[in-house]
Amino acid sequence: MEEIISFIFILFFVEIIMFGFFYSTGYFLTPIVSLGKWKPDKVFKEVDVKVKIKHQSGILLFKKSTHVYLGVGGVIGLGVTFWILVVVLFWVTQS
């Protein structure tokens, strides 16, 4: 029983770290890939000064006011794709 609890606990923290790593990579790559046309959407939306709620926008592009935003899932997908390409290119060049 303790093994299952520790496994879930470790898996949860690894998932949070990977989510943050891929999101931050995609956050910086979104304006570069879109040539400045898209902005990455935020994970948390500020409702009030002290209150933040989780804001899920999906993976698609959507328009808010005058800007076009890439959803959180799309930003993470961009980050994952970037790191997969880095690993594959590194592996190919080492062979």
- Euclidean distance between CA atoms 95 and 93, whole angstroms: 6
The per-residue pLDDT string of the chain (95 residues; one tens digit each, 9 = 90 and over) reads: 778 888 888 888 888 888 889 999 999 999 999 888 888 887 766 666 665 555 566 667 777 778 888 888 888 899 999 999 999 999 999 97
What pLDDT is recorded for position 14? 83
pTM of the model: 0.73
What pLDDT is recorded for position 90? 94
Query: Tokens 């890439």 — which residue?
Result: 70
Taking the alpha carbons at both ends of the chain, their separation in whole angstroms is: 44
Give a three-class secondary structure readout of the chain.
Answer: CHHHHHHHHHHHHHHHHHHHHHHHHHHHHHHHHCCCCEEECCCEEECCCCCEEECCCCCCEEEECCEEEECHHHHHHHHHHHHHHHHHHHHHHHC
What pLDDT is recorded for position 81? 94
What pLDDT is recorded for position 42? 78
What pLDDT is recorded for position 6? 85
Q: Where are the domains of the chain?
A: 2-94
- Euclidean distance between CA atoms 72 and 43, whole angstroms: 6
